[in-house]
Amino acid sequence: MNRRNFLFASSAAAALGFGKSSLAEGKFEITRTEAEWRALLTDFEYQVLREEATERAGTSPLNHEKREGIFACKGCDLPLYSSKTKYDSGTGWPSFWQAMDDAVKTKRDVSVWGIRTELHCRRCGSHLGHVFNDGPQPTGKRHCINGVSLKFQEA
């Protein structure tokens, strides 16, 4: 295989999601069958939380949520983010500069967008979004989260 064919094949594999590890590979406190997840979630929630899809920017009502409270995992109710760490990143997705202690796990995400760091609920493995190094202090992180992955619980 020549270099050009190798690069083309590698790019195609990344675009199709090859090289991404499956959620099923992880060990989680809460596990459900595909049928149980589908009964719990809407079709779109299932696509995002279980198949790692992304909601369109600007579509989540949680972008405008300003009340004090907790943003919990839609898949298992684990508290993930405090409203105290939420900020308007201007990206169109709910953004936080820090997760709650022992709430999220990360995974390498290789796709057409390059190599990123994916965020998942540490208890059920649900896909949340990605973390970037362009957030505000004190962490410098931006947890860019699919609003459909969260449920807001007012304090």
Q: To which residue do tokens 């270099």 refer? A: 3
Residue type, 121: C
Tokens of residue 51, six digits: 């198949």
- Exactly one of 73, 76, 124, 144 is catalytic; which is it? 144
What DSSP string describes 104-141? EEEEEEEETTEEEEEEEETTT--EEEEEES---TTTT-
> What distances in angstroms separate CA 3 from CA 7, 11, 96, one per listed residue?
6, 12, 41
- The residues near 73 (Cβ < 8 Å, ≥ 6 apart) are 80, 121, 123, 124, 126, 128, 149, 150, 151
- Is 73 catalytic? The answer is no
Residues forming the active site: 144
